[in-house]
Structure 1
Amino acid sequence: MKKLMLFLTLVILSKAYAYADNFNSFQLPNYPIEKGVSAPFAGFIGDWLIVGGGCNFPTKPAADGGSKVYYKECYAINTRSKAPEWTQITDLPLPVAYGCAVETTQGLVCIGGMNADSCLTSVFLIEPQKNKRGFSIRTLPSLPQTIDNASATAINNVIYITGGNQQNKGKSLFRFNLNSGTGWETLPSYPGPQRTQPILVNDRRHLYLAGGFQAPTKETESILSDDILCFNTERNQWEYFSEIPNEEDGEKRCLVGGAGTQTSTHFILTGGVNYTIFKNAIEGKTDKDYMRKNPMWYKFNDDVLFFNFKQKKWSVHPNTFGMARAGGILLYHNDCLYMICGEIKPGIRTPEIIILPDIKSLIR
């Protein structure tokens, strides 16, 4: 009996330490859309986590030829509550996924995206009502052109969006000052290949555009960007910044479909697809059972990458529970990282909301 108890104690301790190494993650209640969504709008308004839109395959799996459904439902949950529950709030103006959401002092700005009918130029603000008992939606100036599968970030309520699918295969950077609300400006295009599904973060003076891909054509192979470009917001100028740290085995890391956020001292990147597996897939170099593999087979990235602005130094925290998502949304709030929904493999979403607490202790 003593040996059995010792064994059980060691098992429990080993699991506890494993979780400690893994940020001791925990979860909020599952997102109310049963099978989860990918590429929703998501962000915080105060301590309320707002999630809306997104898409999934609710009836028949994608592997069996199912149809993708886009959603306009929007939900909120108070992360400070002792017993947090999701509450449905006002619907989005239309079903949408693959847009960008940016947290601002006025609320959550939702930009572009697409649905089953079209790509979009729409921009709107989810804001708290004056009585602070709910949320409402206000229309903002539209984008100069349609854009989806892009990435956006904000510096002092000045919003930037780039990458993704733009008209005429464009690579423009767009800027909108929410405080003045005078409309979108078109800034210099980023250099090099197109970057669909990249990550855009900032250090309050510079933008950092990480990863993304350019689709193949009949004449050319796909290009998966494994580097980061930098845009100086004072000089309005792009330049090369850094390679993305390789995988542990030396393989390139592209972060396509990944997610990012920033603190006052670091930017943080995670999630996204495997470089080689994804490149083969979009170039048609896969077998007939490609969509039916176990989620682990696709090797979605589960490392969390930190870049320290002051030290100009990377640190990588590998094998982090819940980060292996494509089309998930990464948020930083009250010293915690939140991973919102996303795909766990091509065509399969999850409703899980993963929280990694006490991130501040790792980025001092």
Structure 2
Amino acid sequence: MKIIFRLCFLALLSIYFPTLLIAQKSDTPIPDYPIRKGVSAPFAGFAGSTLIVAGGCNFPDKPAAEGGKKVYYAQVYSLTPGTSSTQWQEQAPLPIPIAYGASVETEEGLVCIGGMNNDSTSTAVYRIGFPQTDSEASQITPLPSLPTGIDNAAAARVGNILYITGGNQPQQEKALYALSTEQPESWDRQTDYPGQLRVQPTLIGTDSSLYLAGGFAFNATDKTCTLATDILRYDPSTQKWSVETSIPPYPDNTPRCLVGSSGIAYGDYLIFTGGVYAPLFKEAMEGRQDDQYLKHEPKWYRFHDDLLVYHTVDKSWRIIPHVPGMAKAGGVLLCKGNTLYMVCGEIKPGIRTSEVPVISLSDILK
């Protein structure tokens, strides 16, 4: 079951509105990520002006299609975009190799939560930061552990509270856990999210709300995969969930989902991107693909390269088509200033990339 989760990743986007402006590549590129062949499902985010990437996994020797073994990493690298010498710097490693966790940016550093490797699912939580502003060396600080191991989940922040939900939890629970960054004593269980199970969802935090988008559930008994085609909103002040909106379908009205996609908040907008084509993902999960499934060229999988943009005030959707570098699964979308970064990910099931595309947002949301 988890092998399928790891090989068949994410799903999203592809409606075309020709009147919208297209994202432009930045003139400040970032060097390829140092781990050979790149990684998928790492921790990633900014600590101040410094980009941190940690953990992740890949198939370094042979592709998954040829029976290659997945390798998990503990390496941590940092880079400061826009400097005269923009190069990756290796930092102190994580305590264990790990991937499929969730990460959240805070003023003190990047918080890395849960995840898994070949041995177990993790309860560990760490913060990677630079306590001395004049130092290039990061520091890893343990934070309170999760009450239980969680992988393939999503995390976000509202104010000084960190949240994690979705993913694989014991007994297929749908718990939402919260931790205060001001007094990080323990993770408190909040209101469970309603409806179906959501593995590999996207969670975005704004000033006052959480938005839980997409995800999937797999029933191993009858081998059915159910895709979540909506977005839920959580109000921390009332601790209540509600249905915010439906995810726009494909142009032919086929339902789409946001399985394992990535997203960020940008003012009043939620921006989602990346991921696999929903119908192919569902077929693969249900065993309706043949033994050639992992052997096609990347374009065959139809990983999406569009930006899905939702306005939380107007309750409207816009789509920016064909944004370079976004057609990845298991990548991490980040925003710093008016710039988007898509960190690593896979370009087809089992094949990672070390590229970190940089996209200017200046003209997108006029």
Could you tell me the TM-score, scaled by structure 2's length?
0.91
Query: In 2, are the aligned partners of 1:254 and 1:272 still within 8 Å (CA)?
Result: no
In structure 2, how many angstroms separate the alpha carbons of the residues matched to 1:25 and 1:107?
25
Residue 360 (structure 1) shift: 4.2
In structure 1, how many angstroms separate the alpha carbons of the residues matched to 2:182 and 2:286?
44
- The aligned amino acid for 1:24 is K
Q: Deviations along 1:223-246, whole A, 9 cap, x unmatched?
A: 011111111111101111111112
- The aligned amino acid for 2:107 is T
Q: Which residue of 2 aligns with 1:116?
A: 118
Q: Which residue of 1 aligns with 2:25?
A: 24
Q: Which residue of 1 aligns with 2:355?
A: 352
Residue 190 (structure 1) shift: 0.8
Asked which structure has the greater CA Rg, the reply is 1
Q: Which residue of 2 aligns with 1:136?
A: 139
Of structures 1 and 2, the one with the larger relative CO (CA 8 A, separation 6+) is 2
Residue 52 (structure 1) shift: 0.7
**1:75 partnered with 2:77:** yes
- The aligned amino acid for 2:100 is Y
1:247 to 237, 246, 250: 250
Question: Superposed, which structure 2 residues align to 1:203-242 within 5 Å?
Answer: 203-219=206-222, 221-242=224-245
**1:189 partnered with 2:170:** no
Query: In 2, are the aligned partners of 1:52 and 1:73 still within 8 Å (CA)?
Result: yes
- Is the deviation greater in 338-347 or in 232-241? 232-241
Percentage of identical aligned residues: 45
- The aligned amino acid for 1:326 is A
Q: Deviations along 1:104-134, whole A, 9 cap, x unmatched?
A: 0111100000011100000011010325312
2:173 to 170, 175, 190: 170
Local SS of the residue matching 1:229: strand
* CA root-mean-square deviation: 1.3
- Is the deviation greater in 124-133 or in 169-178? 124-133
How many equivalent pairs are there? 344
**1:272 partnered with 2:275:** yes
Query: In 2, are the aligned partners of 1:203 and 1:309 still within 8 Å (CA)?
Result: no
Q: Which residue of 2 aligns with 1:302?
A: 305
Residue 220 (structure 1) shift: 5.5
Residue 216 (structure 1) shift: 2.7
- The aligned amino acid for 1:241 is E
Query: In 1, are the aligned partners of 2:22 and 2:321 still within 8 Å (CA)?
Result: no
**1:47 partnered with 2:46:** no
In structure 2, how many angstroms separate the alpha carbons of the residues matched to 1:227 and 1:324?
21
**1:338 partnered with 2:330:** no
In structure 1, how many angstroms separate the alpha carbons of the residues matched to 2:225 and 2:334?
30
**1:285 partnered with 2:297:** no
Local SS of the residue matching 2:140: strand
Could you tell me the TM-score, scaled by structure 1's length?
0.92
- The aligned amino acid for 2:25 is N
Query: In 1, are the aligned partners of 2:164 and 2:177 still within 8 Å (CA)?
Result: yes
Query: In 2, are the aligned partners of 1:30 and 1:352 still within 8 Å (CA)?
Result: yes
In structure 1, how many angstroms separate the alpha carbons of the residues matched to 2:120 and 2:219?
22
In structure 1, how many angstroms separate the alpha carbons of the residues matched to 2:96 and 2:224?
35
Local SS of the residue matching 1:280: helix
Residue 279 (structure 1) shift: 0.3
In structure 2, how many angstroms separate the alpha carbons of the residues matched to 1:220 and 1:131?
52
